A and B are shown apart, each in its own frame.
Chain A
Amino acid sequence: MKPVQWTTRWSTFTFCAAALLPFSVAAAEYHEAPALEAAAMAETLPPVADRLPLHPMVVTPEESIGQYGGTWRATMFGASDHWWLIKTVSYEPLIRFDAKSGKLIPNLAESFEANDDATEFTFTLREGLKWSDGEPYTADDIMFWFEDVFSDPELTPAPAKWLSTESGPAVVEKVDERTVRFTFQEPNGLFLRKLASNSNIGEIAPIHMYPRHYLEKLLPKYNENAEAEAKAAGASSWAEHFGNVTGSLSRWRYAGMPTLLPWVLTSPYDDRGLVAAERNPYYFKVDPQNNQLPYLDGYEFRVVQDAEAMVLRALAGEIDLQDRTIATLKNKAVLYDNQDRGNYHLFDVPTPDHNQMIVYLNLNHNDLAKRELYQNKNFRIALSHATDRQEIIDLVYFGQGEPWQAAPRRESVHFDEEFAKQYTEYDPDKANALLDEIGLTERDSSGFRLDKDGNRVAVFLEVPSDFRPDWTDVVELMKAQWQKVGVDLQIRPLGRALIRNRALANEHDAFVFIGNGGLDTDLYLEANNFFPHDDTGYRTFALLWSNYFAGLEPSEEPPASVKAQFEARRKLLGAADPAVQQAAMQTIIDGAKEAFYTIGTALPSPGYGIVSNDMHNVPGAIVNYGPIPYIGVVNPEQFYKTSN
């Protein structure tokens, strides 16, 4: 296998890390938390050097070497806020994103490489890695996931898309005790990126979260009483029980499963309202002075049912680090004013989104007259000019942000000022002229334009009623703005799930959603705002073309310009070389600029979070990359506290 240039870069990195290690091993005086030291002295725990792998991962602290102790306090919202856990304390994949360089670096795997055409990926695990109960973590654990979970049709009815290519799912083989190889029949250029993000979650947990020795007994293959034990636990079958214990969300409802994370769950996320964890004595990372991480003893996240209760807790100094749910624009003033009282300060949470809200007209509308109208670029340009974005920004977003189309952010390598700003100036005269030019000159008694069949030109815009309250305000403003150019905007508030189902059945007229994919990290994973292929159902603005790309029915052959984008996407997926991927992505972006599929509103300003003045090593800004656990990326194991 000949590693391509970019993998060589990774290899060089690992090589350097490994080269440094002999010094640290020679110095090999590892230090540990006082409680663990006492346990090791009492011989209830092996000594720290035996608990760490041969080459622990060295994490450079954000500012300073920390001190042991303290608990990370935060709050979670209601019953389904697993995402807070997933995005903070649960990021220990085989390979990870490095927040500083934006590159993929080793984590559980000591090294990894890909072949030229992105079909074979080999990972070598660190030697001597251990689960939190002291059992070794080896290639067998990954093989357990592959053979007994991933390949079992009952546990995995359909292989996840990121682990499959056209001819079928990946094949995983064990090379030796520490090495596994993933083989795909076609190129899977995004495999490494997906492995390092949490867009790989679905209902199936990440592949490194299956401790063989613990989970074997849940399967009938290894335990003939598995079914009876599952029923005794309240599940209807062993498969359901296994799904509950290991599922990416439901796993948090149980304590007791060995883990590789910095902290081991002691009080699970159930209806008792406190999610707590304590340090993992076998955690595989150290700081540059050979202190075993994590610094913090554990975390305590209280589950509250009301967002206002979170604010009160913050003001009472009960939150050490949090942005999720609490850090809304509405709360910013009160949180800002009470920084002294609550002993915290604010930090920036830049968003990777390029748009607060995008309007998607259905380009493959079921009604052929409407399809023709919506496919007319000048109609979309007219609506764009009819939208007063500054008014929206001033009234809804407290003046924060700037008019922006569905185009990459400034920080992206694909940023294009012209694309971002095209047709964003508010110009009702131009809009009217364009609409007249299209032939929508007749008007009804209320002043709305009529199409050639004499029907009022109306856009039925589906807006999620259960997601972003600000959108309701935005579309109300838009309704008044579009009325001035004679277009009737009819607002349809519906549940998100229903909007999705209608979009996937091609029953919709138009809808709105988030503009994700503004930064390169998430742009490559989901480019569905820039070309008409989407299988999430949230950005499906041309279902028939999307199906054409995916080989599904019903479909329709798209115009040549769209096909060129599809071609570029295939190229991107088939390449392992980042330079080739980037060139292909540029073709997609240029195509999106020319086609002007969707109508953007405003570039979102950075979000924020609150962090206690006693909590250290937290970066001043943490970018919230959609599919990547953003707080996990900045290494929570090196956070430390100077009081309690």
Chain B
Amino acid sequence: MVAYILRRVLIMAPTMVLISVIVFAVIQLPPGDYLDTLVAQMASQGDRVDDAQLAALRARYGLDQPLLVQYFRWISGIVLHGDFGQSFEWNKPIADLIMPRIGLTLAIASVVLFLTSIIAIPIGVYSAVRQYSIGDHLATLFGFIGLAVPNVLLTLGLLYITFITFGLEPGGLFSREYQNAPWSLGKVGDLVAHLWIPVVVLTLAGTAEVIRVMRATMLDELVKPYVETARAKGLSEVRLITRYPVRLALNPIVSKLGWMMPIILSSEAIVSVIVDIPTTGPLLLRALLAQDMYLAGAIILMLAFITVVGTLVSDVLLAVLDPRIRYA
């Protein structure tokens, strides 16, 4: 088991190196750089930057260097000093920008993951055991609506409904009075009142898939002879289902865990943009649009790291759950 985990951890290192190269290359793909974006913004406001000034700025930011040099500067800063560099657009160290957001992002993602699991897994089991019952159809319908309606639409719909019915202040993480206030019970309450929309949207979007996977594997398992045997031996129905088929059916769900996190994180971006929640999503979107490449690179790298760690966790969990995997 230890060797298994060790092997998995060792594989992570080259994976991250490879990811960093790809990330850097992809961010550089669009033509132009941050300064081009800046000039375009200025021009649209009837303003301009002189070309000589631009050249000086380009040199200051190191944007005039060859790509390879830029990459090694960037990655060596991160690896050797833990320094992600400066954000061009915010004129701030990148770590200062990301750190306050990454906690909130992970918190939302974890809550969503937790809610998805406790809602979807029992429903999946239920719809398999009571296949084609009214409950099964309802669960399927409900799940598919969540899957089929785009998150954007769902979010806007919920915002609109809360606005029309409760007259609540739309969007943002805090109401005006709590925005710059120190933490208090009221502020926590205010936070929860603002966070429920993204959580509901993301949970709804994720449940359908888990329900369907759970239902399908359960249906495979339920007809197997060992279930028949257990039933013949007089095991109670509840105990039988939870002890044997559910345990096996959880396998695909657990191996999905590792990449459910990135899925949640990327769909979180669009929802957070709409309801105006300061997670990493909107920051990343903006950084990409403005070609603020070190900031974008740092966020993507961090999300990739979370994915890699998530995969590791799900590998370990699988190994715990299923002895066959440990020795494979």
User: Which residues of A does B touch, CB under 8 Å?
Assistant: 78-80, 83, 86, 156-158, 160-161, 198-199, 201-204, 234-236, 239-240, 243-244, 247, 250, 253, 267, 270-274, 276, 300, 302, 304-306, 308-309, 312-313, 315-316, 318, 466-467, 495-498, 500-501, 516, 522, 525-526, 535-538, 626-627
Known: A79-B89, A83-B41, A538-B43. 19 other contacts (CB 8 A): A157-B52, A160-B50, A198-B45, A198-B46, A202-B53, A253-B91, A271-B92, A300-B176, A302-B176, A309-B274, A309-B276, A312-B171, A313-B171, A316-B170, A497-B36, A497-B39, A516-B46, A535-B48, A626-B46
Contacts A79-B90, A240-B60, A306-B273; is A626 near B45 (CB within 8 Å)? yes
Name which residue of chain B comes closest to A234, CB basis: B93
Q: Which residue of A lies closest to B283 (CB)?
A: A271
Contacts of B92 in A (CB 8 A): 234, 253, 270-271
User: Scoring B residues 159 to 172 as 1 if CB is less than 8 Å from chain A, else 0, what string do you get?
Assistant: 10001000101111
How far apart are B34's CB and chain A's nearest CB, in angstroms? 10
84-114 of chain B: CB within 8 A of chain A: 86, 89-93, 96-97, 100-101
**A to B CB contacts below 8 Å, 27 in the list:** A79-B286, A157-B55, A158-B50, A158-B56, A198-B47, A199-B46, A201-B42, A202-B47, A203-B53, A234-B93, A247-B91, A270-B90, A276-B180, A304-B172, A304-B276, A305-B285, A305-B286, A306-B273, A306-B276, A312-B163, A316-B170, A495-B36, A500-B40, A501-B31, A525-B46, A626-B45, A626-B46
> In the complex, A180 Cα to B110 Cα: how many Å?
62
Closest 3 pairs between A and B when the two form their complex, measured CB to CB: A158-B52, A497-B36, A157-B56
B275 at the interface (CB under 8 A from A): yes
B56-A244 in contact (CB<8A): no
Q: Which residues of A contact B55 (CB under 8 A)?
A: 157
Q: In angstroms, how far is the closest chain A Cβ from the Cβ of B178?
A: 11
Residues of B within 8 A of A316 (CB): 163, 167, 169-170
**What are the residues of chain A within 8 A of B274 when measuring CB–CB?**
305-306, 308-309
Pick the contact of B32 from A79, A201, A308, A501 — CB < 8 Å?
A501
Residues in chain A near residue B286, CB distance under 8 A: 78-79, 305
Taking the closest CB of chain B, its distance from the CB of A631, in whole angstroms, is 13
**Cβ contact of B169, chosen from A244, A274, A308, A318, cutoff 8 A:** A318
> In whole angstroms, how far apart are the Cα atoms of A525 and B45 in the complex?
13
Residues in A neighbouring B32, C-beta threshold 8 A: 495, 497-498, 501
CB pair B47–A201 under 8 Å, yes or no, is yes
* B227: chain A residues within 8 A (beta carbon): none
A147 to B70, CA, bound (A): 35
Of chain B, the residue at the smallest CB distance from A241 is: B91
Q: Quick check: is B37 within 8 A (CB to CB) of the other chain?
A: yes
Distance A253 CA – B43 CA, assembled complex (angstroms)? 21
Q: Kindly state whether residue B156 has any CB partner on chain A within 8 Å.
A: yes
CB of B147 closer than 8 Å to a CB of A: no
Interface residues on B, range: 35 or more
Q: Which of A157, A160, A270, A316 has the most CB of B within 10 A?
A: A157
Closest to A498 in B: B31
B289: A residues at CB distance < 8 A: 466
A55 to B328, CA, bound (A): 87
Q: B residues within 8 A CB of A80?
A: 41, 89, 290
| Nearest chain B residue, comparing its CB with the CB of A312 | B170
Most interface-central of B47, B49, B55, B92 (chain A CB within 10 A): B47
B56 touches A309 (CB 8 A): no
Residues of chain B within 8 A of A267, CB atoms compared: 180
CB neighbours (8 Å) of B275 from chain A are 309
CA distance in complex: A198, B96 (Å) = 31
In chain B between 162 and 210, which residues have their CB closer than 8 angstroms to a CB of chain A?
163, 167, 169-173, 176, 179-180
B44 at the interface (CB under 8 A from A): yes
Query: Which of B40, B101, B179 is the most central at the interface, judged by chain A CB atoms within 10 Å of its CB?
Result: B40
Q: Which residues of B contact A160 (CB under 8 A)?
A: 50, 53
Q: How far is the CA of A202 from the CA of B38 in the complex (A)?
A: 10
Tell me if B262 is interfacial: C-beta within 8 Å of chain A: no
Q: Provided the pairs A79-B290, A234-B86 are in contact, do residues A273 and B278 lie with their beta carbons within 8 angstroms?
A: yes
| Contact code string B39-81 (vs A, CB < 8 Å = 1, else 0) | 1111111111111110111001000000000000000000000
Q: Report Cα–Cα, A234/B88, bound state, in Å.
A: 12
Check B167 against A273 for contact (C-beta < 8 Å): no
Contacts of A272 in B (CB 8 A): 180, 278
Residues from chain B with Cβ under 8 Å of A239 in the complex: 60
Residues of A within 8 A of B57 (CB): 203
Contact A202 B290, CB 8 Å, known A271-B283, A302-B172: no
A203 to B56, CA, bound (A): 11
- What is the CB-to-nearest-CB distance from A51 to chain B, in angstroms, rounded to a whole number? 27
Known A-B contacts A78-B286, A202-B50, A467-B44; A304 and B39 likewise in contact (beta carbons under 8 Å): no
- Say how far B172's CB is from chain A's closest CB, in angstroms: 7
Residues of A within 8 A of B180 (CB): 267, 272, 274, 276
Do B170 and A313 touch (CB < 8 A)? yes
How far, in whole Å, are A304 and B274 apart by their CA atoms in the complex?
9
As a 0/1 sequence over residues 235 to 248 of chain B, the CB contacts with chain A under 8 angstroms (1 = contact) are 00000000000000
| Residue B234 lies at the interface, judged by CB distance under 8 Å to chain A | no
B53 to chain A, nearest CB (A): 5
Enumerate chain A residues within 8 angstroms of B163, measured Cβ to Cβ.
312, 315-316
B92, B97, B171: residue with the most chain A Cβ atoms closer than 10 Å: B171
Residues from chain A with a CB closer than 8 A to the CB of B40 are 466-467, 495-497, 500
C-alpha gap A537/B48 in the complex (Å): 10
| 0/1 string, B283-300, CB within 8 A of A gives 1 | 101100110000000000
Chain A's nearest CB lies how many Å from the CB of B20? 22
Check B49 against A202 for contact (C-beta < 8 Å).
yes
In angstroms, Cα B86 to Cα A80, docked, is 16
Closest-CB distance, A40 to chain B (whole angstroms): 27
Contacts of B179 in A (CB 8 A): 273-274, 302
Asked if B53 contacts A157 (CB within 8 A), the reply is: yes
**Contact with B48, one of A236, A247, A271, A536 (Cβ below 8 angstroms):** A536
A202 / chain B contacts, CB cutoff of 8 Å: 42, 47-50, 53
Annotate B16-46 by CB proximity to A: 1 below 8 A, 0 otherwise.
0000000000000011100011011111111
1/0 per position for B119-147, CB-CB distance to A under 8 A? 00000000000000000000000000000
